[in-house]
A and B are shown apart, each in its own frame.
Chain A
């Protein structure tokens, strides 16, 4: 399933412009400790988090994640969105909790 399809199914807000969402998402990961995500999230996963500072983008790049989904309505600074666009990292957002989002995402991927 592509990130575009997931965004549509889960009614996610797409914050980045010009970043390809046609990529296939291989899995999901929940976590707010960046070091933990670096160590444990699989490449190509969609990362669900409430962390929204600029290092989140760097982590997504280093770990080769499929995208970052900000949960619980957290609002990143415009500079973070810009950084995501520069880095080609899809940044999405939802007002739903990480728990709900993970719950909805899981059956789509398994």
Chain B
């Protein structure tokens, strides 16, 4: 999934806005942002963090700098265990022309030494938007891993994969994204935002349904 291939697939699917949320890293967001810009597609920088309890949390940022700063913090809390390409494949970092710049040596498929609550707090500290990922999934989903949402926590947006909004989460809006691990999967799920601009502030307002803004799931691939 090279940067341009991702942007091409997104363009083909008629997507106006994309984000990439790699596992515990943001090493590719800038280059994918560039590829997206070439095709006039808007972009949000993000990371998918795996917490200590193996819950996946998506973090989105308005600016690359904030995303990178957050990702650096996360990386410091990732165990210093090297990747084993035999077991999990390589972790290449490429440029816009698909030249491999380097391989990420640390195993990214690991948990960061942060609790779910602390992860969310850190995201907010970096002015990001925290979205629990695929909460209804049996693997790495909030519900499976924690059983329920910790008391006192709420999220304007949660990512749901299936068709049903899980109980206890009906107050939040639903984010549907492809979670594509393959080019074919891009666009298989998408969300339509009606809002004034691409910004976290607008996304939060859309999630709250303020002044005609909205967030609607589109769980079907267009073509």
Contact for B87 among A33, A35, A39, A61, CB less than 8 A: A61
Considering only residues 53-98 of chain A, those with a C-beta below 8 Å from chain B are 53, 55, 57-59, 61-62, 87
Q: Which of A37-62 contact B (CB under 8 A)?
A: 38-39, 53, 55, 57-59, 61-62
Query: Which residue of B has the minimal Cβ distance to A55?
Result: B109
Closest to A36 in B: B111
Asked whether, in the complex, the Cβ of A33 is within 8 Å of the Cβ of B111, the reply is yes
Number of interface residues of A (CB under 8 A): 14
A33-B53, A35-B54, A38-B81 as given contacts; A58 in contact with B88, CB under 8 Å: yes
Instruction: Report B-chain residues with C-beta under 8 Å of the C-beta of A57.
Output: 87
A57–B139 Cα distance when bound, in Å, is 15
CB pair A87–B87 under 8 Å, yes or no, is yes
Interface residues of B in 91-117 (CB under 8 A from A): 107, 109-111
Chain B residues near A39: list those with CB within 8 A.
Answer: 79, 81
30 A-B pairs in the complex with CB atoms less than 8 angstroms apart: A33-B53, A33-B111, A34-B54, A34-B111, A35-B50, A35-B52, A35-B79, A35-B110, A35-B111, A36-B111, A38-B79, A38-B81, A38-B107, A38-B110, A39-B79, A53-B139, A55-B88, A55-B109, A57-B87, A58-B88, A58-B109, A59-B87, A61-B86, A61-B87, A62-B81, A62-B84, A62-B87, A62-B107, A87-B86, A87-B87
Report the 4 A-B pairs with minimum CB-CB distance, sorted nearest first. Answer: A35-B111, A58-B87, A61-B87, A62-B84
With A35-B52, A35-B79, A55-B88 given, name 11 new contacts (CB 8 A): A34-B111, A35-B54, A38-B107, A38-B110, A39-B79, A55-B109, A57-B87, A58-B88, A61-B87, A62-B107, A87-B86
